[in-house]
Amino acid sequence: MSASGTAATGGRVEHMLRQVEPGRYDAYEQLLHALADGELWMLLWQGAPGSPDAQYGNMEVDGFGYAPCVTSPQELAASGWNRAHELVTGREIARALYPDRWGVWLNPHAPGGGVGIPWPDLRRIATGLDRMPAGPLRVTEPALELPQFYALLTQNAHRTQAVRSLRRGWVQPALGSPYLAIGLDLYDTSPAAVDAVRSMMRQSIGSVPDGLPVSTVALSDAYDPVALWLRANARPFYDREAHAGRGSASVPGYGYPPPAPSGY
């Protein structure tokens, strides 16, 4: 990237940084987009850029770890940092830090202390901001009564051998429409199994009322905040192993498929 290009992207990051304030989720989202396409000056606590012993600085805020950085050469000078630094793109540093649950903190030397980008938002930058809902997310038990959808989904899940259990949650993003999340707990994540699960959802989704968004999330995803909430708080509404343990004489209950017809 040319010097003018670097200045342009850095200027956009700093412009959006000035717009961020409590409750301005729209401005924060625009800052994330600017960071994804921009560059950051990461502060090295030890080592030189590219060296095996290079180590970013670190800081802790409210129990979460962040690597401090600055957004331009001018901010680097203003910070008084007298050790080495490394110039990286926003996507590069997002991919490097989020798996270890580290965020970045922009311009911690600035009046007001700068702005922190926690690791879930770095994950969104790394994997695609438009692919994942904007946080912070509010996840609760669904209040909508959808017995037809849940009954059809559990029947189809029972026929799909890759499915161990299903959970559900109501997700309200900071920006955008709320949606119903179906958590998928799978025995098998091979391509054939994933295709079977997609077919299961396609066969079931027609019973959802028009206009109600439905999304799926893998419960095995150790980084997805919706998956983390579902594993910790939501009881399965379909559980293959629990259903098998009920025995053939048991009466089917809500959320479980009825006995299979002849030839099933």
Give residue-wise pLDDT tens across range 45-100.
999 998 888 999 999 999 999 999 999 999 999 999 999 999 999 999 999 999 99
Given 3-state DSSP classes, what are the helix, strand and coil percentages for the chain, each rounded to the nearest 5?
Answer: 40, 25, 40
Task: Specify if 120 maps to a domain.
Answer: yes
Q: In this structure, are 87 and 174 located in the same domain?
A: no
- What range does the domain containing 143 cover? 138-245
Q: What is the per-residue pLDDT for 246?
A: 59
Domain tally for the chain?
A: 2
Residues 6+ apart with CB under 8 A from 199: 160
Q: What is the pLDDT of residues 180-207, one digit of tens each?
A: 999 999 999 999 999 999 999 999 999 9
Angstrom CA distances, 182 to 124, 130, 150, 160, 228, stand at 20, 19, 10, 15, 13
150 with 80, same domain: the answer is no
254 within a domain of the structure (yes/no): no
Q: Are residues 186 and 227 in the same domain?
A: yes
d(CA 238, CA 150): 9
Closest C-alpha to 121, from 97, 89, 146: 97
Of 131, 165, 181, the domain-final residue: 131
**What integer pLDDT is reported at residue 165 of this predicted model?**
98
CA–CA distance, 117 with 113 (Å, rounded to integer):
13
Per-residue burial over 24-49, b if 16 or more Cβ lie within 10 Å, else e, is eeeebbbbbbbbbebbbbbbbeeeee
85 and 119 fall within a common domain: yes
User: Is residue 251 a part of any domain in this protein?
Assistant: no
Residues 127 and 153 placed together within one structural domain of the fold: no
